Homo-oligomer: A and B are copies of this chain.
Amino acid sequence: MNQIITIGREFGSGGREFGRRLAEELGYEYYDKEIIDEISARTDLSVEYIHQIIENKPHNLLPITVGKSFTYVDHHTLNQLQKVYGEQMQVIRDMAEKSNCVIVGRCASYILKDQKPFRIFVHADMDSRVRRCMEHMDGSEGFTAKQMKRHIKQVDKARAKYFHFYTERKWGDRSNYDLCVNTTDVVIKDIVPVIAKLFKN
C-alpha cells in the first residue's frame, strides 16, 4: 500500500511549506491546489467557484432553523457542494492510489482513513503566524498586523467549520492526528528532514 501523509495546518503556520518540503525530501507526489484543478477538470465548474464552495461556505449552507418552526435550505447550492465534495473525495482517493504522496488540507486525513494515512497537523502561536504571513503571503502588503490577525482567525474558523461539517470531528484536536508540530520559532526547512526519517527505512 502507498505511504500517504496528510497535512492539516493553521493558516500562517507554514504547513504548506512543511508539506511541500516533506514531499521533496521523500520523493513523494505533492497535492494541494492540484486537487481543485483536478476537480475543475472533471466538472464544468471554475477553480474560483470550487475554491469558494469547498473552503469557505459549507457552514452557510446548513439548514437554517428559526424557533424550530421554519427551515430553509438552498437546494441548488447544497447540491453543488455535495457534487464538489463527492468529486473531491474521488480525486483524493485516485491520487492516494497512484503513488506515495503528501496531501495538504481538504479533509484528506478523514477521506483516506481506511488507508491509514500518517496525519500531521502543523500549528504555531498567533504572533509567529502574523509575522510569517506579513513576510510571505501574497498580497499581504496592504495589511496591518491587526488586520492580518483578524484574517488568520477568519480563515481558521472557516477551516474548522469545513472540517467539522464533513467529519464531525474537531479540527486541530490532537486526537485526530499522529503528530502535531508547533512551528513557532522553527525553521521549517531544518525540521522537515528529521520528520522525513519517520518514513524512511
Contacts and interface: CB of A to CB of B under 8 A. Distances in A.
Interface stretch (A65-73, A135-143, A170-178): A170-178
A180 interface: yes
A61 interface: no
A64 interface: no
A123 B176 CA distance: 11
A194 interface: yes
**How many copies of this chain sit in the oligomeric assembly?**
2
Interface residues of A, number: 17
A121 interface: yes
A98 interface: no
Contacts of A175: 123, 125, 182
Contact of A182 (B172, B177, B184): B177
Interface in A151-201: 172, 174-175, 177-182, 184, 191, 194, 197-198
A178 B121 CA distance: 12
B178 A182 contact: yes
A181 B182 contact: no
A interface, over-half SS: mixed
Contact of A194 (B174, B182, B194): B194
A72 to B, nearest CB: 37
A182 B179 contact: yes
Contacts of A178: 181-182, 184
A136 B194 CA distance: 30
A38 to B, nearest CB: 30
Nearest 10 pairs between A and B by C-beta?
A180-B180, A174-B180, A178-B182, A194-B197, A174-B174, A194-B198, A197-B197, A179-B181, A123-B174, A177-B182
18 contacts: A121-B174, A123-B174, A123-B175, A125-B175, A172-B174, A174-B174, A174-B182, A175-B182, A177-B182, A178-B182, A178-B184, A179-B179, A179-B182, A180-B180, A191-B198, A194-B197, A194-B198, A197-B197
